[in-house]
């Protein structure tokens, strides 16, 4: 059965995944209050419009302002100032750029994202319905429990999560093991025991602790893997509880 995580409003669980969550990002030397603001601004090639978006403190008001801008551009026959079409390939590339900057510039976002490993991420637009671009960026949950929609925002988060995990897995083992004074990767040792049927205390097979760079991890927390116990005689084969 698919394990899922969904997000809607900023103040609800996993709201940090939403573009309107209050995580400022810097792009081309300028600070944007949210990923939503930068994403919307990247759709235009007019600096005046971009600055109007950037300087609006409220992301919801920002979205309404953009609708008014588009209406005015249509009236003045200046739609050429809208350089990127909604739901286009370039629009998708810009969204990925915004989310990537958010992860790179906020360590807590990276840690929270890694904690979702193994879960499918959806932007839940059930209450917003099928109008507009809802089913392009997100998905709605039908009465049968199945998700409907392309869910591109959720897919971008999962793509970048896998990039981070792959990066950590390819890191030199001694970088992550040196803190414990170990010559081998402790995660691999424990996983090998686990696959052979040994009893592992508190083993999480998706635990990425061993792969997180030394300068990005809270080493005050205990390791997620503790003891390896022989299934035949109950003897402790390996003990990581004092690391």
How do residues 121-140 score in pLDDT, each as one tens digit?
999 999 998 988 999 999 99
- CA–CA dist 167, 190 (Å, integer): 21
By DSSP bridging, strand 25-27 and strand 120-123 are unpaired
Do residue 8 and residue 45 come from a single domain? yes
Region 175-181: mean pLDDT is 47
Q: Which of 122, 239, 120, 145 is nearest to 190 (CA)?
A: 239
Do residue 39 and residue 73 come from a single domain? yes
- CA–CA dist 212, 137 (Å, integer): 30
Do residue 199 and residue 85 come from a single domain? no
Do residue 116 and residue 204 come from a single domain? no
- DSSP percent split of the chain into helix, strand, coil, nearest 5: 45, 15, 40
Q: Choose the weakest-confidence range: 12-21, 106-115, 193-202.
A: 193-202
Sign of torsion over alpha carbons 111, 115, 116, 118: positive
Do residue 90 and residue 199 come from a single domain? no
By DSSP bridging, strand 199-200 and strand 227-229 are antiparallel
Do residue 115 and residue 163 come from a single domain? yes
Number of domains in the chain: 2
pTM beyond 0.75: the answer is no
How do residues 46-73 score in pLDDT, each as one tens digit?
999 999 999 988 888 888 888 888 889 8
Neighbours of 241 (CB within 10 A): 13
């Amino acid at each position: 059965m698919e394990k899922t995580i969904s997000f809607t409003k900023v103040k609800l669980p996993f709201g940090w995944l939403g573009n309107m969550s209050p995580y400022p990002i810097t792009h081309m030397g300028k600070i944007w209050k949210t990923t939503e603001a930068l994403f919307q601004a990247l759709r235009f090639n007019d600096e005046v419009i971009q600055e109007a978006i950037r300087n609006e403190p409220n992301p919801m008001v920002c979205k309404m302002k953009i609708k008014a801008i588009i209406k005015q551009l249509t009236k003045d026959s200046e739609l050429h100032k809208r350089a990127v079409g909604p739901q286009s390939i370039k629009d998708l590339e810009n969204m990925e750029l915004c989310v990537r900057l958010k992860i790179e510039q906020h360590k807590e976002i990276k840690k929270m994202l890694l904690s979702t490993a193994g879960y499918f991420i959806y932007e839940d637009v059930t209450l917003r319905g099928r109008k507009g671009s809802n089913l392009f960026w997100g998905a709605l949950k039908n009465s049968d429990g199945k998700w409907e929609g392309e869910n591109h925002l959720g897919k971008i988060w999962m793509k970048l999560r896998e990039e981070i995990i792959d990066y950590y897995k390819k890191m030199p083992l001694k970088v992550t093991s040196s803190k414990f004074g170990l010559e081998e990767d402790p995660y691999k040792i424990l996983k090998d025991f686990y696959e052979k049927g040994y009893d592992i205390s508190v083993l999480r097979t998706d635990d990425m602790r061993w792969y997180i760079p030394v300068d990005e991890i809270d080493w005050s927390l205990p390791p997620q893997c503790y003891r390896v116990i022989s299934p035949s005689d109950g003897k402790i084969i390996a003990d990581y509880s004092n690391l």
